[in-house]
């Protein structure tokens, strides 16, 4: 994922990715080069990002170059790391064989414990490193909590109106049950009750500035979005009416779809658009033309400022939530899908005739469907998309990403 080059300084911004190992999920953050006493303005900005990453981390990997050995800069970095009070793993890179592995213990002089030898180029010992990372990461305590109800994340790029929407919902005559600390350091979840339904609103908008470090707004907005997606049942993804669907918006939808959470597209600031009777229809068609793969997502036009259609927005989220939990009877599923498959059977590949025998739903949240056939490896992606579209045509699942699997049956 990260750009690799022999030229120093290629990595400037922090890259991050969600990882899973030995039953633990974590975010891995790749930082730029740490140059402690630099006077270069660009390097100072990179340094600020590195310090921010260290401050926020549960665990720090300090990577050193075994081919070069300890330099003054490594000593400076080690001195800083010893002061921050974080868990640290010292990693000696470019160790390509057992003979070179005997050379790494000189790094113990950095005062950060025994180094672990790896080779990023070949992948040598990366499994051992991941085991050690897993051992160091804190255990997640699972506690019985009061029922949170339907967890709704309010997502969107900066200044699109996320806080305004949350405030507008809370500002109406609804019972606010409690404020719940979120899993991220600065977020507060708000639990509200509307009639007999309980909702937990996960607001991803607010960021508190820390006096000790300079926050990188884009980085934390993105990271918080990912964390909120993990936790929610349904995401309200806001876009701005006057600007339309932008590439940043599409990235958020892609992340929600990847996590297979429910989605509602909320077009905010609709009060600022000059409208005729067909304006909403025209707008919807323009969105679906720009992003045809998201045409299953319901769209609602609101104004957080005037509180237009707020109740309908939560009702739509509730409908999507129920759709994620819906299960289809196997007999009904096969009656409908058998007809569609017979009408358009899979194309032959490498002289093989592909036959789909039956389909069954194996799970919900997300709805998961397994198709059994004789040559699953030959089913094309466009045919899987065809199957998904026919499932939606017959059974709905509005706003709900589906998981389609194919298994072999002789």
298 and 381 both lie in a single domain: no
At 239, give phi and psi (nearest 5°): -125, 160
Residue 26 in domain: yes
| Domain-embedded: residue 2 | no
- The model's pLDDT over 219-229, given as tens digits with 9 standing for 90+, comes to 555 666 777 88
pLDDT of residue 89: 92
Host domain of residue 93: 15-136
**pLDDT band for position 5 (50/70/90)?**
very low
Among residues 111, 136, 161, which one ends one of the domains? 136
**CATH code for the domain in which residue 190 is found:** 3.40.50.300
Residue 327, pLDDT score:
94
Whether 113 and 234 map to the same domain: the answer is no
285 and 168 co-located in one domain: yes
Q: Are 316 and 339 in the same domain?
A: no
**pLDDT score of 211 more than 50:** no
> Same structural domain for residues 309 and 173?
yes
Task: Indicate whether 55 and 161 sit together in one domain.
Answer: no
Q: Which helix (H) or strand (E) holds 99?
A: helix 98-101
287 and 186 housed in the same domain = yes
166 and 285 fall within a common domain: yes
Q: 223 and 346 share a domain?
A: no
- Alpha-carbon gap, residue 400 to 398, rounded angstroms: 6
pLDDT tens per residue across span 332-377: 999 999 999 999 998 888 878 889 999 999 999 999 999 999 988 8
Residue 356: give its domain's CATH number: 3.30.300.20
Tell whether 44 is covered by a domain.
yes
Contacts of 178 by beta carbon, 8 Å cutoff, 6+ apart: 190, 191
**pLDDT band at residue 319 under the 50/70/90 scheme:** very high
Do 174 and 256 belong together in one domain?
Answer: yes
Q: Considering its fold, how many domains does the chain have in total?
A: 3
Residues 301 and 241: beta-carbon distance below 8 Å: yes
Out of 85, 114, 136, a domain closes at 136
Give the pLDDT confidence score for residue 151 in this predicted structure.
Answer: 92
Residue 149, by phi and psi: left (phi above 0), alpha (psi -120 to 50) or beta? left
């Amino acid at each position: 994922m990260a750009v690799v080059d022999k030229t120093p300084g290629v990595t400037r911004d922090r890259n991050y990715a969600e990882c899973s190992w030995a039953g633990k999920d974590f975010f891995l953050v790749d930082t730029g080069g740490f140059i402690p006493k630099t006077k270069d303005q660009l390097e100072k900005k990179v340094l600020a990002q590195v310090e921010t990453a260290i401050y926020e981390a549960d665990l720090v990997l300090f990577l050193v170059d075994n081919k070069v050995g300890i330099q003054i800069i490594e000593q400076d970095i080690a001195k800083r790391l010893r002061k921050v009070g974080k868990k640290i793993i010292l990693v000696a890179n470019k160790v390509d064989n057992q003979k070179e592995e005997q050379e790494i213990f000189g790094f113990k002089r950095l005062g950060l414990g025994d180094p672990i030898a790896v080779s990023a180029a070949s992948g040598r010992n990366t499994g051992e490193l991941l085991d050690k990372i897993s051992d160091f990461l804190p255990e997640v305590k699972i506690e019985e909590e009061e029922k949170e109800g339907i967890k709704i994340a309010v997502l969107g790029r900066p200044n699109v109106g996320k806080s305004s929407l949350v405030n507008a919902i809370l500002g109406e005559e609804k019972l606010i049950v409690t404020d719940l600390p979120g899993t991220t350091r600065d977020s507060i979840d708000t639990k509200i009750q509307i009639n007999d339904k309980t909702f937990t609103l996960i607001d991803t908008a607010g960021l508190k500035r820390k006096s000790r470090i300079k926050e990188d707004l884009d980085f934390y907005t993105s990271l918080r979005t990912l964390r909120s997606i993990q936790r929610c049942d349904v995401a309200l993804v806001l876009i701005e009416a006057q600007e339309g669907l932008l590439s940043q918006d599409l990235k958020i939808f892609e992340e929600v779809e990847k996590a297979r959470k429910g989605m509602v597209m909320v077009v905010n600031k609709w009060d600022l658009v000059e409208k005729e009777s067909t304006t909403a229809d025209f707008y919807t068609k323009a969105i679906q033309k720009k992003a045809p793969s998201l045409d299953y997502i319901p769209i609602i036009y609101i104004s957080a400022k005037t509180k237009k259609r707020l109740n309908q927005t939560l009702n739509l989220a509730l409908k999507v939530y129920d759709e994620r939990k819906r299960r289809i009877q196997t007999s009904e599923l096969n009656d409908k899908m058998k007809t569609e498959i017979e009408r358009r059977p899979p194309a032959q590949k490498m002289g093989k005739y592909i036959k789909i025998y039956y389909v069954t739903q194996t799970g919900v949240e997300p709805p998961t469907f397994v198709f059994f056939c004789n040559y699953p490896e030959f089913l094309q992606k466009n045919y899987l998309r065809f199957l998904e579209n026919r499932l939606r045509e017959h059974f709905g699942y509005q706003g709900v990403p589906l998981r389609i699997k194919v298994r072999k049956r002789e």
